[in-house]
Amino acid sequence: MKSFCLVLALFVSTLTVVAQKKIIKTDQAPAPIGPYSQAVEANGLIFVAGQLGLNPQTRQLVSGGFEAETTQIMENIKAILLAGNLSMSDIVNTTIYLKDVANFPKVNEIYGSYFTGNFPARTTVGSNNLPAGASIEIAVVALRGPKRK
C-alpha cells in the first residue's frame, strides 16, 4: 500500500509540473520566425527565446546597424517580459550571440542601460552566422517572484 501511495504521489506531482507550463506571447515583440514560442514559463522560470533586432510589425531587421539591432532586441525582451507581468529586473541569466566579438563594448553599453544594478549572470558567444542576417541575438531567463502571477 505504501508503494502505491508513493507512486500515486509521484504521478500527481509530475502532472502538477507539466500543468505549470505557460506560453507567453505579445504582439509588441516580433512573432516567432519558426516553430517556437516567444517565451515559456515553467515553475516560475521564464525562458525567453533568442531575440533578433526585428521590428515587431514588419518582422524585418531594423536599419541602423549593430546599435539599433541591440536596442530593438532589448525592447523586444522588455515587451515579452511585460506580457508575462515581469520586468527586466526579473532576468537572472542572459546569453548573447555576437557575429563580431569586436562589438562587445557596444553591447555592454546598450545592454547595461536596461538594468539598474544586480545584473543577471551572462554568457557572450561569438557566432559566424545568425538568423535573418542579424549581428546579434540575445536570449534570457527570468524568475518570477512569489507574488507575481
- 91-98 and 121-126 beta bridge pairing: parallel
For 56-114, write each residue's pLDDT tens digit. 999 999 999 999 999 999 999 999 999 999 999 999 999 999 999 999 999 999 999 99
Provide the pLDDT for residue 4. 54
The model carries a pTM of 0.85
State the CB neighbour count (10 A cutoff) for residue 84: 23
- d(CA 7, CA 13) in angstroms, rounded, equals 10
Domains of the chain: 21-143 (3.30.1330.40)
- 21-24 and 121-126 beta bridge pairing: unpaired
